[in-house]
Structure formats: C-alpha cells, structure tokens
Amino acid sequence: MKLLILNGPNLNMLGIREPGIYGTVDYNAMVEYVAACCDALGIETEFYQSNHEGDLVDAIQDALQYADGIVINPGAYTHTSIAILDALKAVALPAAEVHISDVTKREPFRQISYAGMACQGHFIGQGIEGYVNAARFLQQIITGKGTVPQ
C-alpha cells in the first residue's frame, strides 16, 4: 500500500520560521520521521512539496498511477483552491487532510477548507504527528479494516 504525502506552499519553510506555530522540525526531518513511521506500519510513501497550485493539481492526478491514497496539507491553498478540491474529487482516491497548526483557533480566513471537502479524515493541530495519524487512518480505510478514531 502506497500513499502520496503532499505538502503545499511554504511548508518547505518548516522549522525555519514561526516555530511557535509550526514547531522546530524542518521539512526534511519531517519527511524522514513520517517515512520511518509509515515504513514501520508497512506503508510505502512518496513525498512531494510545491509552492505552485498547478504542480499540486498535477501531483494529485499523477497519484492515480501509483498511489492508494493521499495525505494532503495544502498549506494556504486549503482556504482558496477549488482546483485542488476538484483534483481530489476527480481522482477519487481516499484522502486525509493535515494541518500542523490548529486552524480552528486561528484567523477567520482559515476557517474554510475546500480541500477538506474531498477528504475522509481531518488531522488538525497535531503537529507533524498528524501526518502519521492520517497515514494510519488511510491504511485502515484502504485495507478495509473500517474507520479509526481521528
């Protein structure tokens, strides 16, 4: 079972700025950690990060060729991108949304998630552990073991 773990704009800056909101682990260390946790769960991973909306749409479409599900943190495109929502709906792969910070307690403009409308799971405010929890959640759905608590 293989998952695409997709990150949107500015998430490559993890650990470099705003540690109070996004933590101190940098993007590469996050990838290493999440990949190792997934490996231990028997989940293969493909990571991709882009600052460009169209690249993210392409990555979602490409996932149809090799992935069983998508873990997505669309960054700020969460709150603006109908293109990403449409791509997730078009491929119709099981998907889970991750936000490192607790967007529910932040600015009003972060209260809408378009991408989240095409996701079966939502992992919000759990830091980088949210990626691992999202992967575990998708594994349960994909392997047919039903739902797990988020």
Active-site residue set: 22, 99
Considering beta carbons, is residue 1 or 25 the nearer one to ligand CA2? 25
Considering beta carbons, is residue 17 or 89 the nearer one to ligand CA2? 17
Alpha-carbon torsion, ordered 29, 32, 34, 38, to 10 deg? -170
Query: 20-49: which residues touch ligand CA2 (CB under 6 A)?
Result: 22
Per CB under 6 A, does 112 bind ligand CA2? no
Tell which one of 45, 81, 101, 133 touches ligand CA2 (CB under 6 A).
Answer: 101
Q: How far is CA 113 from the centre of its chain?
A: 13
DSSP 67-121: -SEEEEE-GGGGGT-HHHHHHHHHH---EEEEESS-GGGS-GGGS--TGGGG-SE
Tell which one of 68, 88, 99, 121 touches ligand CA2 (CB under 6 A).
Answer: 99
Considering beta carbons, is residue 73 or 139 the nearer one to ligand CA2? 73
Would you say 97 and 122 are in contact if contact means Cβ atoms under 8 Å apart? Answer: yes
Q: How far is the CB of 52 from ligand CA2 (least distance, A)?
A: 14
Q: How far is the CB of 31 from ligand CA2 (least distance, A)?
A: 14
Per CB under 6 A, does 13 bind ligand CA2? yes
Per CB under 6 A, does 83 bind ligand CA2? no
Window contacting ligand CA2 (CB under 6 A); options: 7-15, 44-52, 86-94, 141-149: 7-15
Residue 13 is classified by DSSP as: G
Token pair for residue 85? Answer: 């929502």
Q: Whole-angstrom distance between the N-terminal and C-terminal Cα of the chain?
A: 20
